[in-house]
Amino acid sequence: MAEPAGPGGRAGAGERVALVTGASSGLGRATAVALARAGYRLVLHGRDRERLTTPPALAEATAVTGDLAVPADVERLAATALSAHGRVDLLVSNAGVGWSGPLEAMDGDRAAAMLAVNLAAPIALTRALLPHMLDRGTGRLAYVTSIAGRLGVAGEAVYAATKGGLDAFAESLRLELRGTGVAVTVLVPGVVDTPFFERRGAPYDRSRPRPLPAGRVAAALVRGVAGGADEVHAPRWLRLPVAVRGAAPGPYRRLAGRFGDRVR
């Protein structure tokens, strides 16, 4: 992991510090901008150092590049954030990688990378930052999951599994942290207009649902964090198929098979 760039400096009284992963593009970058406008001091992780601090709103951020598939880089990211600002009030675990295609065609290394970045890294970052939040009796952990992790998606079995695992981790942690002052927010997005689909190897080719702008989804997440929401769905109607699947799994699967089981 490269050395951090940015002014740093310990956060003062009344200031809030947020650590956002995957902030050099897409939803992570939009979330970082929204948090900066909300007054947060930022530690931003990504692969492209220049893009981490290029927008004027992010010019004062502490930028850290690295590979979240490498455990040592994850540990160093957490240590850098705590060293730079003295604390982290909000963790946004956004970084994620995907792959589209039949499971038998997937390279084993790619599956391992998805498990590392999408699931193991958020858990490791949480383990590193949570004790400091518990000592202060305040903090929030925000995890970007996916509707794929709630419903399953053909051709994205491993990706859906990592997001479903992150969802279960967040829900379990919420129960564990009850009464401590540390809270958990989960963002469940559908299709977001970001480079994710090109990077997974297959562009989004459905006419509906239409991809949401990353800024709109980021704004929903930041509102949810500010309002203390346990869950944020973007768009909000995604609650409906999740509820139908929970209430009537058999009919849901029959409908999914009839009308297409690729919701993304």
The dihedrals phi and psi of 47, each to the nearest 5 degrees, come to: -95, -20
Residues 230/174, Cβ–Cβ less than 8 Å:
yes
Considering 40, 143, 159, 204, which one is annotated as catalytic? 159
For the chain, how far is it from start to end, CA to CA, in angstroms?
32
Rg of the chain (C-alpha set): 18
Instruction: Quote the CA–CA distance of 136 and 196 in Å, as a whole number.
Output: 36
Catalytic (active site) residue 159: yes
As given in the structure block, the two tokens for residue 199 are 């990077």
Cβ–Cβ < 8 Å for 100, 52: no
Whether 66 contacts 72, CB under 8 Å: no
Buried b (16+ CB within 10 A) or exposed e, 218-241: bbbbbebbeeebebbbbbeebeeb
**Torsions phi, psi of 148, nearest 5?**
-60, -35
For residue 82, with 0-12 CB atoms within 10 Å meaning exposed, 13-18 middle and 19 or more buried, which class applies?
Answer: middle
- Give the C-alpha separation, 240 to 261, whole Å: 16
Cβ contacts of residue 136 below 8 Å, gap of 6+?
87, 181
Residues with catalytic roles: 159
